[in-house]
């Protein structure tokens, strides 16, 4: 009876070990297929000119074929590399168009408040553009007056606004924005 129990336990252990080995072996072979380690994908891509595709004959079905490319789905591009001494630089005239200065007259979390100030400011100042910009980083609607190329020009116009309209623009300030 002890001998039967021992042989039964041995058979059970061998069955578990064999099953585990088979599962590991099957898992490794699936992993090789999913990671792209197959003979078909190791062949280099064909980059030769187009050639007509012939229909498969019965004796070539199931054999690996090379992938063809067509001009419809292929773009020709060249790589341009600049050294530091040859890299294009921004001239002063282009730099003035990258940033501008404006006179900020208010900032609101509520869009309707910003639009109300925008409307009132446009009614009072007709000749200069009045902007309403949303800044996602602090989620504020910023109302500002004018676009000036230099900070000095913006400060000069800010002083004119304060002299002309009084206390309504005394809390305004000049800020730099990207166009």
Q: How far apart are the C-alpha atoms of 170 and 80, rounded to whole Å?
A: 52
Assign 80 a pLDDT band (cuts: 50, 70, 90). Answer: low
Whether pLDDT at 104 is above 50: yes
- pLDDT tens for 112-154 read 999 999 999 899 888 889 999 988 899 999 999 999 999 999 9
The separation between the first and the last C-alpha atoms of the chain, rounded to the nearest angstrom, is 93
Beta bridge partners of 132: 143
- What does the pLDDT average to over 154-169? 88
How large a percentage of the chain has pLDDT more than 90?
Answer: 25
CB atoms within 10 A of CB 125: 18
Beta bridge partners of 148: 101
Q: How far apart are the C-alpha atoms of 148 and 155, rounded to whole Å?
A: 9
Averaged pLDDT score across all residues of the chain: 72
Q: How far apart are the C-alpha atoms of 113 and 129, rounded to whole Å?
A: 18
Assign 13 a pLDDT band (cuts: 50, 70, 90). Answer: confident
Model confidence, pTM: 0.45
For residue 127, what is the DSSP state?
Answer: S
Q: Which residue has the higher pLDDT, 140 or 8?
A: 140
Q: How far apart are the C-alpha atoms of 167 and 98, rounded to whole Å?
A: 32
Q: Which residue has the higher pLDDT, 53 or 123?
A: 123
Whether pLDDT at 73 is above 70: no
Q: Specify the pLDDT at position 41.
A: 45
Burial state string for 95-116 with b = 16 or more CB within 10 A and e = fewer than 16: eeeeebbbbbbbbbeeeeebee
Assign 87 a pLDDT band (cuts: 50, 70, 90). Answer: very low
């Amino acid at each position: 009876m002890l001998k039967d129990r021992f042989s039964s336990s041995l058979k059970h252990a061998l069955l578990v070990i064999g099953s585990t080995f088979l599962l590991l072996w099957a898992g490794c072979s699936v992993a090789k297929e999913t990671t792209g380690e197959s003979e078909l994908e190791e062949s280099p891509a064909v980059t030769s000119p187009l050639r007509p595709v012939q229909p498969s004959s019965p004796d070539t079905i199931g054999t690996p074929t090379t992938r063809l490319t067509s001009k419809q789905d292929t773009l020709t591009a060249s790589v341009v590399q600049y050294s530091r001494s040859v890299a294009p630089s921004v001239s002063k005239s282009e730099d003035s168009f990258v940033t501008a200065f404006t006179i900020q007259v208010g900032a609101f979390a509520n869009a309707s408040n910003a639009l109300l100030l925008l409307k009132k400011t446009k009614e009072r100042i007709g000749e200069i553009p009045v902007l309403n910009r949303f800044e996602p980083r602090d989620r504020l609607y910023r109302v500002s007056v004018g676009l000036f190329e230099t900070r000095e020009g913006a400060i000069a116009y800010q002083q004119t606004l304060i002299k002309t309209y009084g206390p309504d623009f005394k809390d305004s300030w000049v800020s730099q924005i990207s166009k």
